[in-house]
Amino acid sequence: MADRIAQACTPADLAARQGGEEFALLLGVRDLDSARQRAETLRAVVAAEPLAPNGQPIAVSVSIGLTLAKPEDETLDQLLRRADHALYAAKAAGRNRVICG
């Protein structure tokens, strides 16, 4: 999964594993439409091909919580908290989707 995320990133992006099955991406875009397009592309790339760690294909998908940095954000935690809330909304809405929060 990390390889697929890395392939979808540009030099302006930063990807990090937060733990378990959660990753955080800081995208080098400034507007929500561009961020949403990038997130949808990543979602489609991941879902397009199953993983086969032991030769057995496993269908995978990602739920993405998306947010933009705001001028009032004082810490990275505030940004990540909004993204996390959007992620849980994406999971609650049926998974394999992008939700902006």
Catalytic: which of 21, 22, 49, 72? 21
Read off the tokens for 80: 């990540």
> Does 49 participate in catalysis according to the annotation?
no
Q: In the numeric block, which tokens belong to residue 50?
A: 């199953």
Q: Which of 73, 46, 70 is nearest to 59 (CA)?
A: 46
What does the alpha-carbon distance between residue 13 and residue 51 come to, in Å, rounded to a whole number? Answer: 24
Residues in Cβ contact with 64 at an 8 Å cutoff, skipping those fewer than 6 apart: 39, 42, 43, 86, 87, 90, 97, 98, 99
Catalytic site positions: 21
